[in-house]
Amino acid sequence: MARFQGSIYEYINFVGPSIANLIQRYSRPYKKEINNICQACGKVSTLQAAHRWGCSRPEVILQALIPFGAPDRIDCDLQEAQDAIMTLHKERPIELTFGFFCKPCHDEYDEVWEMIQREYPEDAEDLRMKLK
Ligand SMILES: [Zn+2]
């Protein structure tokens, strides 16, 4: 299959959206299982899969692509890299990797994580280590 050569930033920019689509597909049955109830506010809504703090999509992608040379110079078969990323997403119970929230709660969840990384970088690092 086609190959990708470039940095982790380029991978996330250009290939990341197709990974996001796969994740949406993977998480769809689970949303049904929890009856589309937002895990933050408890309202029935169209749910989004939010990567939990410490294992954001770019972080999981980076971890999966280290064997292919990430972060500096990735050289990979696109299918193999995609499989590695999805395996990493699927090897733990889904609820440990994702929270399921309505859009406003998802936005708030991501904002709090950005704040933690900015204001408390050591706590953010601890959380990442615990989740590995
Ligand atoms: Zn909500």
**Pairwise CA distance, residues 55 & 110, whole Å:** 12
> Does position 33 have pLDDT exceeding 90, yes or no?
yes
38-84: per-residue pLDDT in tens?
A: 999 999 999 999 999 888 888 899 999 999 999 999 999 999 999 99
Alpha carbon of 92 to ligand 1 centroid (Å): 24
Alpha carbon of 7 to ligand 1 centroid (Å): 35
pLDDT of residue 124: 87
Alpha carbon of 61 to ligand 1 centroid (Å): 26
Contact 102, 45 (CB under 8 A): yes
Task: Please give the model's pTM, rounded to 2 decimal places.
Answer: 0.83
pLDDT of residue 23: 92
Alpha carbon of 84 to ligand 1 centroid (Å): 31
